[in-house]
A and B are shown apart, each in its own frame.
Chain A
Amino acid sequence: MAVRRFAERVRELPRLGLGVSTEYGAGAAAGALDVAALRAGWPQFAQFLEVGVEVVKGLDGPAQAWTRAGLPTTYHFLDVNLDEPVDLEPGWLAEVGALARGMRAAWLCGDAGWWHFAARDRGHMLLLPPVLTRESADAMADGLMRVRDATGLEVLPENPPGQVFVGDLGLLEFFARVCERADTGMLLDCAHLAIYQRVMGRDALAGLEGFPLERVVELHVAGGSLREVAGWQFVEDDHVPAVLPETWRIFERVAPRAGNLKAVVFECERNPVAACLEGFERIAGVWR
């Protein structure tokens, strides 16, 4: 049977709209976003739930309740190094497939970097960006295709955050290569891209003019905070409601031009609803 191209497959993906993200236990903290309350009071801002999953933990109570209600979800992995073939263990792949099917996820997605060093294990939560080389991009594309084949679901790689980027490719160039080789769509995190551009001393929109925006299926928007370590300033991707101007610039450039955009997540899972409404409204005003 002929393998269908992304341009054809993407037409069958559902348009999920504007949603929110969560991960195991995120809603339990004081002042955290109550996804059920958001859905009840502002359903236009909680059209789907992106569930961050470590296979070893599974889904927490609120995520289970959401899926039991038959509401739309996506599965955001938190425990795989896509560019490490040895990390794609058959048992892990089988469990991801079962969990994703159980929650009727529209697709898989997640930061395409290193979630753990050494073997998959508890306590890592590393989240490093990939080494930006052709070899690494090709390995990531190959890993992505293995996960897609094993689960039967689209796998959207997400550009991870970071403060150290090594390699001879630009971040957007790297992900364009991954998308081309794996013939896949991607999840562009606007906040992560803004951090990368700042780290590299580039304008927030640099490189977007040559990027294949038709590959962008999902966008993330999130707030960040200016921090300092030993006198050195950096932006921490801490998902506060206050979105940095560079992130807004990227979102407002990409969203109207991404012809296959199906979903936007406002990542604000550890903040009360009231603090997030302004951000939701601005996103909704840009992407209708």
Chain B
Amino acid sequence: MSAAGLQRVIVRMMFDPAFRDAVYGAPERALAGAEVSEIERGWLVARDRRAYATDVTRQARALLALEEELPAACAWARAQGVTLEAFFGSGKFHGCVEGRGLMVLAFAEWLAANAGVEVGELARVEGELAWLRRSTSTSTSTSTSTSTSTSTSTSTRLRVGRRVRVVRVRVGVLEMWAAAREGRVVGSVGEGEVEVLLERGEDGGCTGEVLESGLAALLRVAGDGVERAALVEEVVRQGGEPAEAEDIVGGLLASGVLERA
């Protein structure tokens, strides 16, 4: 096994006492599929197993960082009796370490799979926001050719901005999210779904709003990149005037909801 691979096993043993005990109890079985040689297995269990547990706040520190990003989902999960520390014994956590993923996204997925529908929906929203915080920040000030319809601007390919995400969620989730941010675990999700626009502001703060159906359709067309003219055509197809359509697309570009592809 590579040194990095061995290091990942050590990380898992430090965070997950059950996994650590399994490695000590039956190393070959616990590490099956991990391509750890017999010599390396010997290294892993050579020390007293308590040596892996000297940092008694390791899980708590990691959870603190996770809860900062998923406060509403965590509050709801606790209210539903979910033990958040169980994440570190989950396949999602172990897979994240082995796959060099983002822990906050793995945690959001774990919450969604291990709690009620409300937690799942909130975890999806806050997981998307966590992703947004890490996405590349792009300046909108350099892409503000708004209402002009020059040949240059109309031939530009545009895409959904990296500061925003369009997510389909159950009705009522944004209200639950807003309440939880004020410390209230209240509300419920409805049967229907809506598309919401999640946005990371210049100050790092995040907002969410239900998308009007026309705008949702326009952003679906934009996706990862289309000609600007195609977006203008979509606005016109929805009933807008051509000049007005240019202004709408330009406005979305100026606000960062769209950006140059």
Known interface pairs A83-B4, A114-B7, A131-B3. Does A234 touch B103 (Cβ–Cβ under 8 Å)? no
**B3 and A130 within 8 A (CB):** yes
List the B residue with the shortest CB-CB distance to A166.
Answer: B43
B residues less than 8 Å from A236 (CB atoms): 54
Cβ–Cβ contact A118 & B7, under 8 A: no
B157: Cβ under 8 A from any A Cβ: no
Q: Which residues of chain B have C-beta atoms less than 8 A from A231's C-beta? A: 50
Of B62-70, B121-129, B139-147, B215-223, the one contacting chain A is B62-70
Q: B96 contacts the other chain (Cβ, under 8 Å)?
A: yes
With contacts A118-B97, A121-B104, A128-B11 taken as known, whether A234 is within 8 angstroms of B51 at the C-beta atoms is yes
| Residue pair A167, B43 in contact (C-beta under 8 Å) | yes
Known A-B contacts A128-B11, A229-B50, A229-B53; A121 and B103 likewise in contact (beta carbons under 8 Å): yes
Count of chain A residues with a beta carbon within 8 Å of a chain B beta carbon: 34
The CA of A76 and the CA of B122, in the complex, are separated in Å by 38
For residue B58, which residue of chain A has the nearest CB?
A126
Smallest Cβ-Cβ distance to A235: which chain B residue = B54
Contact in complex: B100, A118 (CB < 8 Å): yes
Interface string of B149-172 (1 = CB under 8 A from A): 000000000000000000000000
Bound Cα distance A117, B10 (Å): 10
Residues of B with C-beta under 8 A to A229: 50, 53-54, 56
Is A227 on the interface with B (CB-CB < 8 A)? yes
- Pick the residue among A119, A167, A230 that contacts B101 (CB under 8 A): A119
Q: A229-B53, A229-B56, A234-B54 are in contact. Are A123 and B7 (CB under 8 A)?
A: no
* 8 Å CB contact of A166 from B11, B44, B50, B99: B44
Question: Interface residues of B: mostly helix, strand, loop or mixed?
Answer: helix
Binary interface encoding of chain B residues 45-57 relative to chain A, with 1 for a CB under 8 A from any of its CBs, else 0: 0111011111010
B48–A135 CB distance below 8 A: no
Q: A208 → chain B, closest Cβ, in Å?
A: 23
* Chain B contact patch, size range: 35 or more
A18 to B209, alpha carbons, bound, how many Å?
56
Cβ contact of B52, chosen from A114, A131, A139, A164, cutoff 8 A: A164
Find the B residue at minimum CB distance from A91: B136
A94 close to B (CB within 8 Å):
no
- Is B102 among interface residues, defined by CB-CB distance under 8 A? yes
The answer to whether A123 touches B62 (Cβ under 8 A) is yes
Interface pair A199/B51, CB less than 8 Å apart = yes
Q: In the assembled complex, how far is the CB of residue A279 from the closest CB belonging to chain B, in whole angstroms?
A: 24
Contact for B51 among A124, A130, A163, CB less than 8 A? A163
What chain B residues lie within 8 Å of A84 (beta carbons)? 4
Whether, in the assembled complex, B40 has its beta carbon less than 8 Å from a beta carbon of chain A, the answer is yes
Residues of B within 8 A of A122 (CB): 65
Chain B's closest residue to A135 (CB) is B3
Complex CA–CA separation, A7 to B102 (angstroms): 41
Chain A 230-256 near chain B by CB (<8 Å), digits 1 or 0: 111010100000000000000000000
Known: A118-B101, A119-B102. A136 touches B53 (CB 8 A): no
A125 to B14, CA, bound (A): 13
Q: A117-B97, A121-B104 are in contact. Are A232 and B7 (CB under 8 A)?
A: no
When distances are taken between beta carbons in the complex, the residues of chain A under 8 Å from B66 are: 123
Inside 8 A of A83's CB, which chain B residues have their CB?
3-4
Closest-CB distance, A130 to chain B (whole angstroms): 7
Verify if A133 is at the interface (C-beta below 8 Å from B): yes
CB atoms of A133 and B62 under 8 A apart: no
Given A118-B96, A122-B65, A166-B43, 5 extra CB contacts under 8 A: A117-B100, A118-B100, A123-B61, A166-B46, A199-B47
A interface list, Cβ under 8 A from B: 83-84, 86, 114, 117-119, 121-126, 128, 130-131, 133, 135-136, 139, 163-168, 199, 227, 229-232, 234, 236
